Amino acid sequence: MKLRLYRFTDGWNEPFDTSLDSDSTLLLMFGEMGRNGEVNRAIDEICRAYPKSLKAGCSSAGEIFDAELFEHSLVVAVVRLEKSRVKKVECPIASPEASKKIGRELAASLVAEDLKAIFVISEGLTINGSELAAGINSVISPEIIVTGGLAGDDDRFEKTYILTEMCRPQPEVVSAIGFYGEDFRIASGYKGGWDRFGIEREITSSKKNILYTLNNEPALEVYKRYLGKHAEELPASALLFPLAIRESKESEETKVRTVLAVNEAEQSITFAGDMPEGGYATFMKANFDRLIDGAYEAAETMAENRDIRMDALGIAISCVGRKLLLKQRTEEELEATLDVLPEGTRQIGFYSYGEISPMHSGACDLHNQTMTLTLIWEE
């Protein structure tokens, strides 16, 4: 595998190595696409420089380039696979209710005997990430690793964009990349680092990813009570107070969910993933040191893999809520990941509205408020 990273701010950080352009090359891009004219022109420029390569990416709430955080920029990884192949598929989002169907269709389009991994990039506001993951899981075997994330829009929550194969940022699209071949390798890990507080409440009324009541109280009323002065800044302020959910009293596996939208008339809250009726939810708050430790631990789970090559690409996807909380300390979690991974590992990524990574069972699912890492290389 041959790899080059590029960054566009006021201009490109270095000239393009166009010798990497090929049918087995992937251009992975994250940045302020869609709403930033300079970034859109930069996308056109690099797409013209690599006409044969597959192009994928999304808008972000902050761009990761090695151990640095950038904003209003574009970061690009040019990955030329020498022994493996790559395929990309796309699907428009008709409605949130179609999320599971979209997951099934994307996975079915990518399935092949030598499929090793899928990397999913979805718009971040319309999709139901849990249902998207469930649709993918219904088609593929647990041995196929699925990772990815939901596009961001800083803390605006207005519109997110996916880079289509025509090299145009478009809203309401999901894309998925399949990696194939015996020599392709992938590792993944995720960690949070939030503290729970308050009592655990039953999810007494919900529909998919819309929460109506907790312990039979209107969900938005409960949330506002906990947010106090931050309630006026909803939905953005809810990023500081995610929910930990369990699907049942017996379940030991916890997922974190963050708010996408609120409905004052219904007193309901829309989350990035499903809120299972009959499940249980607990409020969470930040512990700054533990957030950074979480990033370190996410990388540590992969560093145990002794086969990782020195020229591997790390794709870091972290939640925008972590960025808003860590502020000046944000780069500490980026440094933490590279400190653990083999020397020579390069890293790009973005701050997102949701992260996709395998659970302990092997099946992928939506995560919120986590640092997720995907590491790819060739044997």
- pLDDT tens-place string over residues 114-154: 999 999 999 999 999 999 999 999 999 989 999 999 999 98
User: To 10 degrees, what angle do helices 99-110 and 129-137 make?
Assistant: 40
Handedness of CA 212, 217, 221, 222 (dihedral sign): negative
pLDDT exceeds cutoff 70 at 287: no
- Whether 54 and 164 have beta carbons less than 8 Å apart is answered as no
Considering the chain, what percentage of its residues have pLDDT values greater than 70? Answer: 96
Average pLDDT over residues 223-245: 85
Give me the pLDDT at residue 309, please.
Answer: 65
Residue, of 297 and 266, whose pLDDT is higher: 266
pLDDT exceeds cutoff 70 at 310: no
Per DSSP (E only), the strands in 25-141 are 25-31, 54-59, 63-65, 68-70, 74-80, 85-92, 115-122
Q: What's phi and psi for 166, nearest 5 deg?
A: -80, 5
- pTM to 2 decimals? 0.85
pLDDT exceeds cutoff 80 at 308: no
Give me the pLDDT at residue 359, please.
Answer: 81
From CA 16, how far away is CA 156, in angstroms rounded? 33
pLDDT category at 273 given cuts 50, 70, 90 is confident
From CA 203, how far away is CA 217, in angstroms rounded? 10
Domains of the chain, by residue range, sit at 2-191+289-378, 194-285
User: To 10 degrees, what angle do helices 288-303 and 330-340 make?
Assistant: 20
